[in-house]
Amino acid sequence: MDATSYAGYRERLRRCLRAYRRRHFAGRGALFVRGIAGGLVLTGDAAHLNYFDPALYHALTCRPRAFRNLANARVLAISVFGTLARRDGLALLSQVPCDDGRPLLSAAEARHAALDLQRPPGVPNEPGPPVVDLWLTAPELRVTILPRLLERGLGPCPEPARGRCSGDYIPQAAGCVHTAQGAAYWQHLPAVAGWGADVDLHPCPMAAALTLARALLAAADPVPGNAAARCGTLLVYDARNPAWRPGSRADRLFSQLRQALPPATLLRRTTWQAIAAALAASDWYSDLVEYLQAKYGIGCKT
């Protein structure tokens, strides 16, 4: 990926967010933390204003500091999917195409779809702060949503950069740092992701995709009353972000990981623009469409 083109995309998005702040928070500079992320981070007391519907923020019991950033992708996802759920509009997701040409949900799945704004981690003893997962469920289906906006990849493992891991998975040598810390990733990854826990992997697939791996594991974790026949992850990205263009590193890695998955594990992706187009076709979401355009510059087209 051309670093210059990504820098241009990032600056255009931040310019849009700054314009949104000027219009919607005129004269209320005290609501923002100075000097952090270009002044695009709300104070703790104002964090609920980062959402299309502040009630969605108040419905959360886990509220990471990152959720105060106007550019946070999970806030975007909670605003969009949470609003659909609150307005009984998840059936609209059957009108959203994924990159494989199929709808995000089938008509039958969409009629019975439900959304959970957050679930506990799917793997015991996960390191780091808790991650808020959005879950789409339907009869015999369970999907975690992995939102991307400014992100350039699938969520790399931080341990190689910290010098605590070589970036390879060698079970007979050091194994996995996360295993040593008590996280049970490799007890479940073979069945969920098709990665062998007893063979050398060069590089370790989690090195570039830890966030995606934990999302897949979370979806595979059994839920009382919903022993889904299929489970997996939906990745939603900004079509303007050059990091996700066809042939990019993220695009190639996503395709490689998807091909390696067992048949029962789903890995699909769509764009915020495809979702915006479906929203725009309905008379009930003109306010949400306006919000996406005004805040993020996300419209029905790239």
Radius of gyration of the CA atoms of the chain, in A: 19
In the numeric block, which tokens belong to residue 133? 């997962």
In a domain, 154, yes or no: no
Mean pLDDT of 221-232: 65
Residue 9: the pLDDT is 96
Average per-residue pLDDT for the chain: 89
Neighbours of 111 (CB within 10 A): 13
Q: Using an 8 Å Cβ cutoff, are 168 and 177 in contact?
A: no
Q: How many whole angstroms separate alpha carbon 158 and alpha carbon 165?
A: 9
Residue 284: the pLDDT is 94
Residue 224, pLDDT above cutoff 60 = no
Residue 146, pLDDT above cutoff 70 = yes
In a domain, 23, yes or no: yes
Residue 230, pLDDT above cutoff 90 = no
pLDDT in tens, 171-196: 876 678 888 888 888 888 888 888 88
| CA angle, residues 2, 204, 228, in degrees to nearest 5 | 100
Residue 132: the pLDDT is 61
Residue 69: the pLDDT is 97
pLDDT in tens, 253-301: 999 999 988 888 899 999 999 999 999 999 999 999 999 999 999 997 7
- Extended strands (E) in the chain: 114-116, 134-138, 141-147, 230-237, 265-271
Q: Using an 8 Å Cβ cutoff, are 260 and 299 in contact?
A: no
Residue 84: the pLDDT is 97
Closest CA to 126 of 237, 206, 235: 206
Q: Total structural domains in the chain?
A: 1
The structure's pTM equals 0.93
In a domain, 89, yes or no: yes
pLDDT in tens, 3-17: 679 999 999 999 999
Residue 194: the pLDDT is 87
* Listed range (14-28, 163-177, 206-220) with the worst mean pLDDT: 163-177
* Alpha-helix residue ranges (DSSP H) falling in 68-176: 73-86, 107-111
Closest CA to 143 of 267, 291, 271: 267
| C-alpha torsion 95→97→102→107, nearest 10 | -20
Residue 264: the pLDDT is 81
The range of the structural domain enclosing residue 132 comes to 3-149+230-296
Q: How many whole angstroms separate alpha carbon 228 and alpha carbon 95?
A: 23
> φ and ψ at 301, to 5 degrees?
-130, 160
Residue 226, pLDDT above cutoff 60 = no
Residue 227, pLDDT above cutoff 70 = no
In a domain, 15, yes or no: yes
In a domain, 245, yes or no: yes
In a domain, 248, yes or no: yes
pLDDT in tens, 27-79: 999 999 987 888 899 999 999 999 999 999 999 988 889 999 999 999 999 99
Q: What percent of the chain has pLDDT over 90?
A: 62
Q: How many whole angstroms separate alpha carbon 9 and alpha carbon 241?
A: 6
Residue 112, pLDDT above cutoff 70 = yes
CA distances from 63 to 12, 36, 130, 132 (A): 27, 18, 9, 8
* Listed range (130-144, 193-207, 280-294) with the worst mean pLDDT: 130-144
* Three-class SS state of 224: coil
Residue 127: the pLDDT is 64
Residue 22, pLDDT above cutoff 60 = yes
Residue 95: the pLDDT is 96
Which run of H or of E encompasses 290? Answer: helix 286-296
